[in-house]
Amino acid sequence: MTYAYLFKYIIIGDTGVGKSCLLLQFTDKRFQPVHDLTIGVEFGARMVNIDGKQIKLQIWDTAGQESFRSITRSYYRGAAGALLVYDITRRETFNHLTSWLEDARQHSSSNMVIMLIGNKSDLESRRDVKREEGEAFAREHGLIFMETSAKTACNVEEAFINTAKEIYRKIQQGLFDVHNEANGIKIGPQQCISTSVGPSASQRSSSEIGSNSGCC
Amino acid sequence: GGGCGGSDLPLRFPYGRPEFLGLSQDEVECSADHIARPILILKETRRLPWATGYAEVINAGKSTHNEDQASCEVLTVKKKAGAITSTPNRNSTKRRSSLPNGEGLQLKENAESEGVSCHYWSLFDGHAGSGAAVVASRLLQHHITEQLQDIVEILKNSAVLPPTCLGEEPETTPANSRTLTRAASLRSGVGAPGSPSTPPTRFFTEKKIPHECLVIGALESAFKEMDLQIERERSSYNISGGCTALIVVCLLGKLYVANAGDSRAIIIRNGEIIPMSSEFTPETERQRLQYLAFMQPHLLGNEFTHLEFPRRVQRKELGKKMLYRDFNMTGWAYKTIEDDDLKFPLIYGEGKKARVMATIGVTRGLGDHDLKVHDSNIYIKPFLSSAPEVRVYDLSKYEHGADDVLILATDGLWDVLSNEEVAEAITQFLPNCDPDDPHRYTLAAQDLVMRARGVLKDRGWRISNDRLGSGDDISVYVIPLIHGNKLS
Ligand SMILES: Nc1nc2c(ncn2[C@@H]2O[C@H](COP(=O)(O)OP(=O)(O)O)[C@@H](O)[C@H]2O)c(=O)[nH]1
Ligand SMILES: [Mg+2]
């Protein structure tokens, strides 16, 4: 399937915060409670529709273990977006955000859009990090913020799509050099400008969703 | 590259990564990132035979695709049903079963219907296109199976040396004494003084060919058949480029390492390095290439000289005496420079930069049938050999521990890491992993790829001591030998 743009994302954060589940929920629309630890890197991809444009998201799901940090550091290169994930039921994963953010900022292109995600919002009773704390951290560091649940799928689409919208906005503002692949953006093989007539165009693309559709 | 085989033709197999990685098309696309260079490893849900570890990384931009390929499987080698009488005929089997050792033979008869399982690992490093490497990674194992099928019954019958001539009654001398003679002479070793009591019944001496030599021969034939198949099929398919091939076969308790090209295999046993292959490059094969060119000068198309000089000869040096060497020399001598010596040398360049006719830096492998010297009609293929060097390692001779491994890797690894550095990395890494973690060998392979790729610094990929990392495709197997203990 052709696309207008391809954006590369990277998902980062401590082990067990739900990175792989978020990816699976986004690409396959399912939740698999028990699955293997990510070692190294795994990939996912999905087409989304932003402003009537087909955009392919290429998502790199990285291992959270400290021992893999030196290996995965180069994976920031050429990422247009990063999802920085913590677990709202485990404060230490929130405490580690600064170190993740430093890593990301140091090894990525300066234009990379970072979305902060407080995951497992379905576990309200075990909440250990207040939503306001996440919001404050995001504000302080210039990130976008959402709480999600990879289990109920709440806000998962939105997290990925809002990041894409922000990248798209930056492209339109001329902040991204789309011809430099090191920025994590590729122009599609053939720009498909036609309105979505073919059945394939609407097959997997998501409709636009307001950024505040509140299910959480 | 010089080869521009019909690109209108369909691919024999689509490009992809090794089947055992189980990557989707999207994942293959993601992995081909020359900037971030993700290290791909076996997914946790996937297992290779013997818990073999594997990791790979794509090049830093020298080619769109990762041109390394790999495959790994357990083959079952079984005598072909209704095979053309290439095995001893029924008669001789019957007759032999009347021997005192009838019980053992009975067992063998039953086993005859069962196949022998054979573990297979392969690694290919493609050049000038990914076609040949992809084809070889899919098909070489079938050629190996086919070659082994013809001899599997002979191999299983390890007590009796392979017959010199198939279908021939071995009983030119009384069956018993002959068998005994052979066994006895094997035991006593070569050159044992003939005891006067041994009846001199033979009309002429006969070489004793041990079983493992038949396996070596089968592997050599398989490489040749693979190369011929690529040659045949390139009229109907687009099979681009060529590739090196390094394979390991474990059969009846022995490892056979067959190498054609510049990949490398080493065993690390108790921290000690045992090389299991050697590389075939313009430098290591200089004399073979020079001799071929000397015998068949037309292969040089009047543009190259088979002689080697320490540097390019200049016209103004005509008549002077310069150091040179010919196919018969490893040392150097002086010769008077003639017109012919001004031609470009058949082998030129040093180390990794050495090339045959300024074109190719590896002298054995598969494919390359259309490869020509740039802008000429001179074919390279006559200088390339598909014959592997095969080394044998007897697994039963040593009780292997969990950290004893066989490493196979393409030159992307060995270009930047020495055998000693690889051994050191392995002996540091493995003891620090849980010995029961089935993933430990994959993590070790990942560690090796990481050490060769390095980390991205401002000025490119760097490895230890601020050396330059390898910008090549890098693929590594770590094969634990402890599984060999259970065999035989
Ligand atoms: N209740 C709940 N559990 C989740 C959610 N996301 C992930 N998990 C669980 O958290 C654990 C770790 O998830 P995983 O995706 O492997 O984390 P990763 O290490 O960051 O990739 C698994 O047991 C998941 O079932 C969520 O949104 N809600
Ligand atoms: Mg994970």
Interface ipTM: 0.85
Instruction: Search chain A and give the residue with CA nearest B31.
Output: A43
Q: Which of B21, B27, B30 to mutate to test the interface with A (most CBs of A within 10 A)?
A: B30
Q: What angle do CA B290, B291, B293 make, to 5 degrees?
A: 65
How is chain B split into domains, by residue range?
Answer: 19-78+117-159+210-278+386-486, 285-361
Mean pLDDT computed over B191-214? 71
- Distance (Å, rounded) from C-alpha B405 to C-alpha B390? 18
Q: What is the mean pLDDT of residues A2-19?
A: 95
Average pLDDT over chain B, rounded to an integer: 88
pLDDT of residue B192: 47
Rounded Cα gap, residues A124 and A111, in angstroms: 34
Write down the pLDDT at residue A190. Answer: 62
Residue A115 has a pLDDT of: 98
Question: How many domains is chain A partitioned into structurally?
Answer: 1
Given pLDDT bands bounded at 50, 70 and 90, which one contains residue A202? Answer: very low
Contacts of A73 in chain B (CB under 8 A): 455-456
Q: Residues near B168 by Cβ (< 8 Å), separated by ≥ 6?
A: none
Q: What is the pLDDT of residue B7?
A: 72
Evaluate if residue A196 carries a pLDDT over 50. Answer: no
Measured in whole angstroms, the distance separating CA A12 from the mean position of its chain's CA atoms is 9
Q: Distance from the CA of A25 to the center of ligand 1, in angstroms?
A: 11
d(CA A49, CA A3): 9
In a domain, A172, yes or no: yes
pLDDT at A54 over 80: yes
Which is higher by pLDDT, B380 or A200?
B380
- Give me ligand 1 centre to Cα A17, in Å: 6
pLDDT value at residue B262: 98
Residue A97 has pLDDT above 50, yes or no: yes
Tell me which residue in B27, B31, B35 faces A77 most closely, judged by beta carbons. B35
CB nearest to A40's CB, from B27, B45, B446 = B446
In this predicted structure, what is the pLDDT of residue A192?
A: 45
- Ligand positioned closest to the Cα atom of A148: 1
Amino acid occupying residue B462: R
State yes or no: pLDDT of A204 exceeds 80: no
| Confidence bin at B202 (pLDDT 50/70/90) | low
The residue with greater pLDDT, B388 or A69, is: B388
Residues with CB under 5 A from ligand 2 (ion): A 19-20, 38
Burial letters for B202-220: b for 16+ Cβ neighbours within 10 Å, e otherwise? eeeeeeeeebbebbbebbb
pLDDT at B300: 98
**CATH number assigned to the domain covering B19-78+117-159+210-278+386-486:** 3.60.40.10
Whether A2 has its CB under 8 Å from any CB of chain B: the answer is no
Q: Burial code of A56-76, b = ≥16 C-beta within 10 A, e = fewer?
A: bbbbbbbbbeeebeebbbbbb
- What's the pLDDT at B469? 96
Measured CA to CA, the distance from residue B488 to residue B397 in angstroms comes to 11
Interchain pair B36, A77: CB under 8 A: yes
For range A66-77, the mean pLDDT = 89
Q: What is the CATH number of the domain that holds A72?
A: 3.40.50.300
pLDDT band at B444 (very low <50, low <70, confident <90, very high): very high
Q: Could you report the per-residue pLDDT of A133-153, keeping only the tens digit for each?
A: 999 999 999 999 999 999 999
Residue B436's pLDDT is what? 86
The residues near A92 (Cβ < 8 Å, ≥ 6 apart) are A14
- Which domain range does residue A45 map to? 3-185
Pocket, ligand 1, Cβ cutoff 6 A: A 15-21, 33-34, 38, 64, 119-120, 122-123, 149-151
Closest in B29, B31, B439 to A39, CB measured: B439
- Specify if A85 maps to a domain: yes
Phi, psi at B471, each rounded to 5°: -90, 5
Contact B38 A40 (CB under 8 A): yes
**For a substitution probing ligand 1, which of A10, A14, A21 has the most ligand atoms within 8 Å of its CB?**
A21
Task: Give residue B82's pLDDT.
Answer: 59
